[in-house]
A and B are shown apart, each in its own frame.
Chain A
Amino acid sequence: MVAKPTSEEATKLKRVGDEPWYWLRENVPEVGPWEREFYDLLENIKVLWEQYRVNRINLAFLVNWSTASTSSGSQHIKDVSMIQKKQNAGNSQFIFEINLEGFVRDEIDMGTEIDPTMIAVFSQARDAVIIWFGDSLDILYKGMKWNPKNKAETLKEMKLKKRDKLMPLIDYKKILDIHYQEYIRGEAGVDYWFQGKKDKILLNSPERIFQKNLFMFLKNDCECDAALEPMFKNSSRCDVRASIDYDIYFFEIKWIGLCATKKENTDVISAENPREESIKNAIAGAYQTKTYIEQNNSVQYDNKIKMGIVVVYDGYSPPQTPIDYPAEIRDFPLLDTAEYQLVTLTPSALGKQLAKQKKRTSKKR
Chain B
Amino acid sequence: MITRNVILTDVLFSLYATDKLKWPALARTHFQRLLYLCAALSALSNTEWGYEFSNSLYGPFNGQVSSAADELVHRGYAEALDVRVLRNSKMKANFRITESGRRNVEFISNLKQERQRLGWIETVSGILNIYGPAVMSKLAYFEPTFIRMKQENRIGPIDLSIEENQSIQLLHRLSDELKKTYSIHLDTPTSNLIFYFDYMSRDIGKGRE
Question: What separation, in Å, do the CA atoms of A4 and B175 have in the docked complex?
Answer: 10
Question: What separation, in Å, do the CA atoms of A219 and B150 have in the docked complex?
Answer: 15
Instruction: Pick the most buried of B57, B88, B181, B201: most chain A CB atoms within 10 A of its CB.
Output: B57
Number of interface residues of B (CB under 8 A): 54
Give which listed residue, B57, B131, B199, B209, contacts A13 with CB less than 8 A. Answer: B199
Q: Is A212 an interface residue (CB 8 A)?
A: no
Q: Is A264 an interface residue (CB 8 A)?
A: no
**With A5-B174, A13-B177, A19-B198 as contacts: A166 and B88 at CB distance below 8 Å:** no
Question: What separation, in Å, do the CA atoms of A166 and B153 have in the docked complex?
Answer: 29
Among B36-44, B105-113, B189-197, the stretch that binds chain A is B189-197
Question: What separation, in Å, do the CA atoms of A302 and B58 have in the docked complex?
Answer: 11
Residues of B within 8 A of A231 (CB): 153
Question: What separation, in Å, do the CA atoms of A163 and B88 have in the docked complex?
Answer: 32
**Complex contact B130–A43 (CB within 8 A):** yes
Q: Is A188 an interface residue (CB 8 A)?
A: no
For the side of the interface on A, what is the size category? 35 or more
Residues of B within 8 A of A167 (CB): 208
Residues of A within 8 A of B131 (CB): 159, 161-163
Instruction: Pick the most buried of A10, A25, A157: most chain B CB atoms within 10 A of its CB.
Output: A25
Q: Is B29 an interface residue (CB 8 A)?
A: yes
**Complex contact A35–B134 (CB within 8 A):** no
Q: Which residue of B lies closest to A165 (CB)?
A: B208
Closest CB of chain A to B180's CB: distance in Å? 10
Q: Is A171 an interface residue (CB 8 A)?
A: no
Q: Is B101 an interface residue (CB 8 A)?
A: no
Closest CB of chain A to B118's CB: distance in Å? 16
Give which listed residue, B130, B141, B183, B204, contacts A39 with CB less than 8 A. Answer: B130
**Complex contact A246–B58 (CB within 8 A):** yes
**With A36-B190, A161-B132 as contacts: A17 and B202 at CB distance below 8 Å:** no
Question: What separation, in Å, do the CA atoms of A3 and B57 have in the docked complex?
Answer: 31
Residues of A within 8 A of B57 (CB): 243, 302-303
Question: What separation, in Å, do the CA atoms of A35 and B6 have in the docked complex?
Answer: 29
**With A2-B176, A225-B59 as contacts: A163 and B205 at CB distance below 8 Å:** yes
Q: Is B27 an interface residue (CB 8 A)?
A: yes
Closest CB of chain A to B148's CB: distance in Å? 13
Q: Is B74 an interface residue (CB 8 A)?
A: no
Give which listed residue, B126, B174, B184, B203, contacts A36 with CB less than 8 A. Answer: B126
Give which listed residue, A10, A13, A15, A223, contacts B134 with CB less than 8 A. Answer: A223
Q: Which residue of A lies closest to B135 (CB)?
A: A163
Task: Mark each residue of chain A from 233 to 245: 1 if its CB lies under 8 Å from any CB of chain B, else 0.
Answer: 0000000000101
Closest CB of chain A to B116's CB: distance in Å? 17
Question: What separation, in Å, do the CA atoms of A167 and B129 have in the docked complex?
Answer: 19
**With A15-B202, A36-B194, A158-B207 as contacts: A4 and B138 at CB distance below 8 Å:** no
Interface residues of B in 163-188 (CB under 8 A from A): 169-170, 172-174, 176-178, 181-185, 188
Task: Mark each residue of chain A from 197 to 226: 1 if its CB lies under 8 Å from any CB of chain B, else 0.
Answer: 000000000000000000010011101010
Question: What separation, in Å, do the CA atoms of A221 and B142 have in the docked complex?
Answer: 14
Q: Is B83 an interface residue (CB 8 A)?
A: no
**Complex contact A16–B205 (CB within 8 A):** no
**With A26-B185, A225-B141 as contacts: A5 and B59 at CB distance below 8 Å:** no
Q: Is B92 an interface residue (CB 8 A)?
A: yes
Q: Which residue of A lies closest to B127 (CB)?
A: A36
Give which listed residue, B173, B194, B198, contacts A2 with CB less than 8 A. Answer: B173
Q: Is B20 an interface residue (CB 8 A)?
A: no
Q: Which residue of B lies closest to A167 (CB)?
A: B208
Closest CB of chain A to B195's CB: distance in Å? 7
**With A35-B188, A36-B194, A245-B92 as contacts: A13 and B130 at CB distance below 8 Å:** no
Closest CB of chain A to B28's CB: distance in Å? 9
Q: Is A9 an interface residue (CB 8 A)?
A: yes
Q: Is A192 an interface residue (CB 8 A)?
A: no
Q: Which residue of A lies closest to B194 (CB)?
A: A39
**Complex contact A17–B58 (CB within 8 A):** no
Residues of A within 8 A of B188 (CB): 35
**With A16-B195, A36-B190, A243-B58 as contacts: A4 and B205 at CB distance below 8 Å:** no
Instruction: Pick the most buried of A5, A163, A220: most chain B CB atoms within 10 A of its CB.
Output: A163
Residues of B within 8 A of A39 (CB): 127, 130, 194
Give which listed residue, A19, A25, A165, A219, contacts B209 with CB less than 8 A. Answer: A165
Q: What would 7 more interface pairs be, CB under 8 Å, given A22-B178, A40-B129, A245-B27? A: A13-B174, A23-B184, A26-B185, A159-B130, A160-B205, A166-B204, A302-B88
The 4 closest A-B pairs by CB, nearest first: A162-B132, A163-B205, A17-B182, A35-B190
Q: Using CB atoms and an 8 Å cutoff, list the residues of chain A in contact with chain B.
A: 2-5, 9-10, 12-13, 15-17, 19, 21-23, 25-26, 35-36, 39-40, 43, 157-167, 216, 219-221, 223, 225, 227, 230-231, 243, 245-246, 302-304
Give 7 CB contacts A-B under 8 Å.
A13-B199, A23-B184, A26-B184, A160-B205, A163-B131, A220-B206, A302-B88
